[in-house]
């Protein structure tokens, strides 16, 4: 509750904050897994940004004479049945995964924070919102996503909408439970008794304490979003071809499993690296920021 005592007196001295931050950074760097995770995520982010520099092939260009070539010096990951270079398709596919992941995290964090905070503060609203939350969380994530995609039609932007609907309740719940612990502290009662404004209490006192759980959740949601985007595209309900997404490359490869294993293996490894990186990072952040699990591990 260090942060809460700081916020109430409003005496966050710069040196204090800096000291605390440097301790956090040092602890983070000491966590080998978390560092590995951030390196993996950084690598994928670089691949996604530098895609045109990494490959000389257009991911959509069909070279009929080069159909189903196994991995070799000219095509590192081989080619697919249209003669497209699998390496450049996987490289460009990272852009879809990252875009979907980022957008979903941004949308769910914003809406989830709003719902979570107000729900924690206003009891009556809480009752309603949490019932809706429970209802939404009763659907298995991928099934809800598929149902929404069925209604909206296969399009990348619709994947973002669907996953935002699926994961906003998760964020809202995490934010709410963190905010409630703050709300129930005596000093909040004191501020309220002294006529403190609701908005100020919510944003000045409750919101800062929800940041850690929000960041942790966001990391894991990014990971889930990458997996579910791939699953939806694999089923033909996500990013439609010919645009390369890891999921639809796998879908193309499925029928050619016997002839072209490389169409299945490489995009899968790309998904694995991304999601593993995010999970490692999420675990690391949780160890770092969540005092409860910290205690349990000692």
Partner 1 sequence: MGKYILKRIVSLLPVLLVVAVVDFIIIHLTPGDPAAVMLGSQATEEELAKLRDQLGLNLPIYSQFGHWILGVLQGNLGWSIFMDMPVTQAIWEHLGPTVSLTLIAEVIAVLFAIPLGVMAANRRGSWMDQSFMMLALLGISLPSFWIGLNLILLFAVQLNWLPAAGYQPLSSGLANHLKYLIMPAVSLGIMQGALIARMTRSSMLEVLNENFIRTAEAKGLKLRVVTYKHALRNAMIPIVTVIGLSFATLIGGAVVTETVFNIPGIGKLIVNSVLRRDYEVIQGAVLLIAAAYVLINLLVDLLYAYIDPRVRYDKS
Q: Which residue ranges make up the site for partner 1 (CB under 8 A)?
A: 131-132, 134-136, 138-144, 146-153, 223, 227, 230-231, 234-237, 250, 253-254, 257-258, 261, 264-265, 268, 271-272, 275-276, 279-280, 283, 293, 296-298
Q: How far is the CB of 141 from partner 1 (least distance, A)?
A: 6
Cis preceding linkage at 136, omega within 30: no
Nearest CB to partner 1, comparing residues 115 and 234: 234
Nearest CB to partner 1, comparing residues 61 and 134: 134
- For residue 79, give the 3-state DSSP assignment: strand
Residues 6 or more apart whose CB falls under 8 angstroms from that of 222 comprise: 101, 102, 104, 105, 278
Nearest CB to partner 1, comparing residues 163 and 182: 163
Nearest CB to partner 1, comparing residues 139 and 187: 139
Q: How far is the CB of 293 from partner 1 (least distance, A)?
A: 7
Q: How far is the CB of 134 from partner 1 (least distance, A)?
A: 5
Cα–Cα distance, 46 to 166 (Å, whole number): 28
Q: How far is the CB of 243 from partner 1 (least distance, A)?
A: 19
Distance, C-alpha 170 to centroid of its chain: 12
Nearest CB to partner 1, comparing residues 59 and 154: 154
Per the CB < 8 A criterion, the answer to whether 246 and 47 are in contact is: no
- For residue 285, give the 3-state DSSP assignment: helix
Nearest CB to partner 1, comparing residues 207 and 232: 232
Cα–Cα distance, 90 to 78 (Å, whole number): 11
Half-sphere exposure of 11 (CA within 13 A, CB side): 3
Q: How far is the CB of 273 from partner 1 (least distance, A)?
A: 9
Q: How far is the CB of 84 from partner 1 (least distance, A)?
A: 19
Nearest CB to partner 1, comparing residues 209 and 274: 274
Q: How far is the CB of 116 from partner 1 (least distance, A)?
A: 18
Selection from 87, 65, 67, 60 nearest residue 75 by Cα: 87
Residues 6 or more apart whose CB falls under 8 angstroms from that of 44 comprise: 94, 97, 98, 270, 273, 274, 277
Plot region of 234 (φ>0 → left; ψ -120 to 50 → alpha; else → beta)? alpha
């Amino acid at each position: 509750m260090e942060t809460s005592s700081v916020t109430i007196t409003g005496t966050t001295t710069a040196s204090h904050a800096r000291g605390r931050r440097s301790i956090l950074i040092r602890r983070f760097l000491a966590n080998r897994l978390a560092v590995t995770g951030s390196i993996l995520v950084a690598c994928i982010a670089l691949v996604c940004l530098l895609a045109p520099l990494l490959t000389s092939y257009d991911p959509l260009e069909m070279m009929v004479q080069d159909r189903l070539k196994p991995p070799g010096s000219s095509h590192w990951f081989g080619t697919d049945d249209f003669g497209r270079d699998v390496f450049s398709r996987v490289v460009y596919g990272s852009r879809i995964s990252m875009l979907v992941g980022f957008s979903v995290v941004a949308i769910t964090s914003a809406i989830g924070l709003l719902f979570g905070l107000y729900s924690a503060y206003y009891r009556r609203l809480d009752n309603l919102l949490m019932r809706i939350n429970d209802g939404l969380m009763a659907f298995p994530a991928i099934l809800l996503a598929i149902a929404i995609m069925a209604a909206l039609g296969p399009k990348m932007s619709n994947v973002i909408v669907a996953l935002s609907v699926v994961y906003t309740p998760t964020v809202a719940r995490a934010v709410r439970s963190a905010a409630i612990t703050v709300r129930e502290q005596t000093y909040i009662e004191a501020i309220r008794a002294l006529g403190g404004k609701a908005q100020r209490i919510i944003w000045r006192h409750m919101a800062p304490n929800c940041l850690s759980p929000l960041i942790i959740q966001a990391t894991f949601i990014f990971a889930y979003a990458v997996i579910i985007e791939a699953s939806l595209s694999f089923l033909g309900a996500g990013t439609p071809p010919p645009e390369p997404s890891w999921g639809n490359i796998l879908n193309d490869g499925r029928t050619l499993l016997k002839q072209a294993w490389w169409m299945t293996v490489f995009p899968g490894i790309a998904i694995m690296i991304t999601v593993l990186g995010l999970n490692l990072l999420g675990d690391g952040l949780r160890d770092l920021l969540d005092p409860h699990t910290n205690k349990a591990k000692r």
